[in-house]
């Protein structure tokens, strides 16, 4: 029997927090770790200096394990890879690219590495380079996504690698946690359900937009230009789709969305901002403390498991 993620990471619950660029600060990651899951500092929207400050802030606020997510399209990714080593960060997750060139240095520093991947081939490659596990992220997720669903991806990843597999995408409750174990995962990564935590430092308007969302209220923009991103439908996504259909190229579309996530997170601009969220937004009904979100998930998991 493979180890559960909580044993692997020496944490209470088998749950990792998603990287969530521009949202997951050092404070928030520490809150998540203190609530019993693995908190992750999302380096996505940061520069290297800020990244280092956030790591130090997180260390001040928790004595539990935590991690960092290095978004590989970030221009400072090389420097962040080095800073994570210097700061002796316990865990690294990566997103939006191939972290192969960093693996040797990270492993030599004794860091646990869990790349987020959206297809089997890269998962296999990174497992062979010594990844401690792979986070198989289905396209139900918010933000930058791949092609496959969690349901299709996780079992195929399980068959392809001997390393632990963590399921991500479409997970916000006990039923989905149970399903993730059935699919072959040893734990889960969640993001959207933590946006509606009391501790999450996003604008109140963003939280309310998630709570209002129904099952059909997310959309994937940018598939046609190779930059698929899932967020809540709003005026921004309607205009994006219009430009995409009119044949705009990636550069034009990127110019249009520049700073849009920050507008949503910091200013609460729910019309023109980019409200990244997964398909589970429709099942979230209230703002709760992080600890309660995790406890609810575990209680519901136990209940459903007993029933079936």
Q: Which is nearer to ligand TUI, 71 or 178 (CB)?
A: 71
Contacts of 259 (CB under 8 A, 6+ apart): none
| Span 113-152, contacts to ligand TUI by CB under 6 A | 116-118, 122, 137, 143-146
- When asked if residue 232 is in the footprint of ligand TUI (CB under 6 A), the reply is no
- When asked if residue 279 is in the footprint of ligand TUI (CB under 6 A), the reply is no
How many residues in the shown chain lie near ligand TUI by CB under 6 A?
19
- When asked if residue 155 is in the footprint of ligand TUI (CB under 6 A), the reply is no
Sheet strand arrangement including 218-221: 143-144, 229-232, 218-221
- The torsion defined by the Cα of 208, 210, 213 and 214, in degrees rounded to 10, comes to -140
| Span 245-264, contacts to ligand TUI by CB under 6 A | 261
Q: Which of 14, 39, 44, 123 binds ligand TUI (CB under 6 A)?
A: 44
Helix axes 250-257, 235-245, angle to 10 degrees: 170
**Nearest distance from C-beta of residue 308 to ligand TUI, angstroms:** 30
- When asked if residue 170 is in the footprint of ligand TUI (CB under 6 A), the reply is no
Stretch of 89-97, 193-201, 203-211, 295-303 lying at the interface with ligand TUI (CB under 6 A): 89-97
- When asked if residue 41 is in the footprint of ligand TUI (CB under 6 A), the reply is no
| Contact yes or no for 40/32 (Cβ under 8 A) | yes
Rounded to an integer, what distance in angstroms lies between the CA atom of residue 259 and that of residue 288?
28
Helix axes 290-307, 174-182, angle to 10 degrees: 60
Rounded to an integer, what distance in angstroms lies between the CA atom of residue 71 and that of residue 283?
27
Binding residues for ligand TUI, per CB under 6 A? 21, 44, 71, 95-98, 116-118, 122, 137, 143-146, 229, 261, 276
């Amino acid at each position: 029997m493979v180890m559960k993620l909580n044993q692997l990471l020496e944490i209470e619950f088998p749950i990792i927090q998603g990287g969530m660029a521009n949202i997951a600060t050092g404070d928030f990651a520490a809150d998540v770790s203190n609530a019993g899951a693995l908190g992750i500092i999302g380096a996505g929207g940061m520069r290297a200096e800020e990244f280092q400050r956030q790591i130090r802030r997180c260390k001040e606020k928790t004595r539990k394990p935590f991690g960092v997510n290095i978004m590989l399209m970030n221009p400072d990714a090389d420097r962040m890879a080095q800073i994570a080593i210097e700061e002796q960060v316990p865990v690294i997750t990566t997103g939006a690219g191939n972290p192969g060139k960093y693996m040797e240095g990270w492993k030599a520093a004794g860091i646990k590495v869990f790349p987020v991947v959206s297809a089997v081939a890269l998962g296999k490659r990174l497992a062979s380079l010594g990844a401690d596990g792979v986070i198989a992220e289905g396209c139900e997720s918010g933000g930058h996504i791949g092609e496959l669903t969690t349901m299709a991806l996780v079992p195929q990843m399980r068959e392809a690698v001997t390393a632990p597999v963590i399921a991500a995408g479409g997970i916000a409750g006990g039923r989905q946690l149970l399903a993730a174990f059935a699919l072959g995962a040893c734990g889960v990564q969640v993001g959207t359900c933590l946006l509606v935590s009391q501790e999450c430092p996003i604008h109140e308007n963003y939280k309310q937009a998630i709570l209002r969302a129904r099952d059909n209220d997310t959309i994937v923009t940018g598939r046609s230009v190779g930059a698929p991103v899932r967020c809540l439908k709003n005026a921004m996504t309607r205009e994006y789709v219009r430009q995409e259909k009119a044949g705009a190229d990636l550069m034009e579309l990127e110019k249009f969305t520049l700073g849009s996530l920050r507008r949503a997170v910091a200013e609460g601009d729910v019309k023109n901002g980019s409200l990244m969220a997964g398909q589970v937004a429709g099942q979230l009904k209230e703002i709760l403390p992080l600890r309660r979100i995790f406890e609810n998930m575990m209680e519901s998991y136990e209940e459903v498991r007993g029933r079936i």
